[in-house]
Amino acid sequence: MSPGFIHVEGLQVSYDGDRLAVAGIDMDVGEGDFVAVLGPSGCGKSTLLQVLSGLLKPVAGKATIAGTDVTRNGGGADRDPRVGYVFQDHRLLPWRTVAQNIELVLAAARVPRDEWDARIERLLAMLQISQFKDSWPMRLSGGQRQRVSIARALAIDPAVVLMDEPFSTLDEVTGRLLRQQLVELWQQQRRAIVFVTHSIREAIFLADRIVILTKGPARVLETLQVPIERPRQYEDPAITELESEIVDRVMSAWGYEQDAGHVKTPPVGSS
Amino acid sequence: MESASLPTQDLGRRRRATSVLTSDVVLGALGILSFAALWWYGHQKTTFVPSFGEVLDAVPSFLTEEAIWPDIFASTTRVVGALALACVVGFLAALLMARGRFWGLVTARYVDLALGLPSTIAALLALFIFKRSEVGVFVVVAIATFPFIALTLRQGFLSANKQLDDMADVYRFRPLMRVRNVFLPHLVPYSLAAIRNEYAHAWRVVVLAELFAVNSGIGWRFAQAFDRFQLVEVALWLLTFMVVLLGSEYLILRPVEKWALRWRGDA
């Protein structure tokens, strides 16, 4: 592990130039690390990924990937370092087949043409969707589309994979299967993954380290190492125990009050 | 592992396709029957509508008459050419209305004006301006059809998918790649809807313009037959118009649309 492969320092982001969406994030992700960014809905988790991918420019602070300042040149001059992005919704081009969707990002990343077929075949096989290579995305289920989206992100051989709540819209069983598959893929390929989620259990199951954010505008509340050995089981009691611990820790920071075991929700507009 | 549910989906899709085809055939047959009934009623009640028998008897000689084909070809060429011109103008107008500020507003006023202008008035104006010429027909059809194309395409421009744009940004699509793979395919359904709607409109306007402006085409032959009070020939040209219009709709436009939108779940 080489700390600081992804380095974020004093990051502040504002959409309207007035109010901050991200009020100050510092974090480091090592090469090959699996880091989950955990925070309540609307706190600015996705905004962090948008900065790392070059979609958004911060008002202050810096973010580097492999030493390249992604806040200045929009994700790296001429695509280096390459960043794979798995969106919450798959964002596949509906008028291109599964293979064509992947071919497009390969072309954009200037991967030599003679490598395309082998890469696509290998990734689709790894994600167990080879049979859908020539299918239209609209004919696939949500889980299958999200697998294609993961294959697309990995196809360009990215230095970093950014994942923005990719399983949150899927049914429970599909979500679990894909989480398991993602861990297996990560163990095979060992790319740095920054995985944004609001699910504590998901963060613990997937990541080595969890960066917990406050409610918006986001700041880092704390960073914790997940002390559970792999392979992990989603219903592992150790995960449940750590989940409860994290709930206790984030309760007030996320705007909830706990009173004799009862949770009071924050008043509307309190953020 | 999540199971692949394609066989079931395919079965459902095939059933839906069969059901759509069946209803298309039934509705088509009903349309033809109602047209025949109206014709029969018209023949019974007036002296202007010839009987089926008279018209059917005249079909063989009509079809072997060499002069009809250049007129059908002339009208078709005018429709296709003028519609192509209207598409280009409509595309530019839509782009300006969706993206331009001052020029967008100016264009919108011209589109509004053209929308409210009756085709007959446009045809007469073109006759005054261009005299009896091909240019006049093209201009009339373009004026009559481009505002509808512009309005439909404008909706396409306005509904551009920001999320797919972001995806293209993240993966560093180059400008031409973005236009070819994100922007233009998004406009295809809007373009096809505009063309299909305006194709029939263009035929009606071309035939109308041919009554005034030129010495060829289905409209001109229709007017000639009417002037000579040859009612069977009037009916034959009317049927020719319908066959060409519906034939191109069912044999060209619909298959093209089905192919172009085959990626849709319901295609």
Distance of CA A180 to the CA centre of its chain: 15
**Best interface-test mutation with B: which of A57, A73, A104 has the largest number of B CBs within 10 A?**
A104
The CB-based long-range contact list for A183-189 (8 Å cut-off, 24+ gap) reads: A183/A34, A183/A230, A183/A231, A183/A232, A185/A126, A185/A127, A185/A150, A185/A154, A186/A34, A187/A230, A188/A126, A189/A154
- Would you state the pLDDT for residue A270? 46
Q: Do B265 and A138 touch (CB under 8 A)?
A: yes
Extract the tokens encoding A179: 């989480």
Distances (CA, A) of A226 to A17, A25, A207, B28, B236: 36, 20, 7, 67, 84
Q: Chain B residues with CB inside 8 Å of A53's CB?
A: 170
- pLDDT, mean of residues B56-76: 89
Q: Does B67 touch chain A (CB under 8 A)?
A: no
Any CB–CB contact under 8 A between B162 and chain A?
A: no
The reply to whether residue A54 touches residue B181, judged by beta carbons under 8 angstroms, is no
Phi-psi region of A32 (alpha: psi -120 to 50; beta: other; left: phi over 0): left
Map residue A167 onto helix, strand or coil. coil
Average pLDDT over residues B57-72: 88
Are B152 and B196 in contact by the 8 Å Cβ rule? The answer is no
Helix (H, G, I), strand (E, B) or coil at B212: helix
pLDDT band at B255 (very low <50, low <70, confident <90, very high): very high
Residue of A nearest to B186 (CA): A95
Inter-chain touch B170–A93, beta carbons under 8 Å: no
Q: Is the dihedral of CA B74, B75, B76, B77 positive or negative?
A: positive
Q: What is the 3-state secondary structure (H, E, C) of B82-99?
A: HHHHHHHHHHHHHHHHHH
* B22 or B7, greater pLDDT: B22
Q: Would the CB atoms of A94 and B263 count as touching at under 8 Å?
A: yes
Q: Which two tokens stand for residue B133?
A: 């010429």
Chain A hits for B177, CB-CB cut-off 8 Å, are 104, 107-108
Query: Given an 8 Å threshold on Cβ–Cβ distance, is B172 in contact with A93?
Result: no
Does B181 contact A at CB distance below 8 Å? yes
Does residue B20 have a pLDDT over 80?
no
The tokens of B18 are what?
A: 């069969």
Instruction: Classify each residue of A55-92 as buried b or exposed e, where b means 16 or more C-beta atoms within 10 Å of its C-beta.
Output: bbebeebebbbbeeebbeeebbeeeebbbbbbbbbbbb
Q: What pLDDT is recorded for position A86? A: 96
CA angle B238, B38, B239 (to 5 degrees): 15
Rounded CA gap, A91 and B16, in Å?
27
- Determine contact: B160 vs chain A, CB below 8 A: no
> What letters, b where the CB count within 10 A reaches 16 and e where it falls short, cover A240-264?
eebbeebeeebeebbbeeeeeeeee
Query: How far apart are the C-alpha atoms of A169 and A213, rounded to whole Å?
Result: 22
Please name which of A117, A194, A113, A178 lies closest in space to residue A145, comparing C-alpha atoms: A178
Q: Which of B171, B177, B181, B187 to mutate to test the interface with A (most CBs of A within 10 A)?
A: B171
Query: Which amino acid appears at position A259 of this protein?
Result: D
How much is the mean pLDDT over chain B?
Answer: 87
Asked if B264 and A138 come within 8 Å (Cβ–Cβ), the reply is: yes
CB contact under 8 A, B182 and A93: yes
Cβ neighbours, 10 Å, residue A1: 11
Least confident of A262-271, B10-19, B80-89, B128-137: A262-271
Provide the b/e sequence for B67-82 (b: ≥16 CB within 10 Å): ebeebbebbbebbebb
Specify the DSSP element, H or E, that contains A212.
strand A209-213
Structure tokens given for B159 = 């509904």
Query: Residue B11: pLDDT above 90?
Result: no
* Predicted pLDDT at B5: 47
Confidence check on the interface: ipTM exceeds 0.95, yes or no: no
pLDDT at A80: 62
Distance CA B69, CA B71 (A): 5
List the beta bridge partners of residue A6. A29, A65
Mind listing the pLDDT tens digit for each residue in B165-193? 999 999 999 999 999 999 999 999 999 99
What does the pLDDT read at residue A77?
38
Low-confidence ranges of chain A (pLDDT < 70): 1-3, 72-80, 258-271
Do A138 and B263 count as a contact with CB atoms less than 8 A apart? Answer: yes
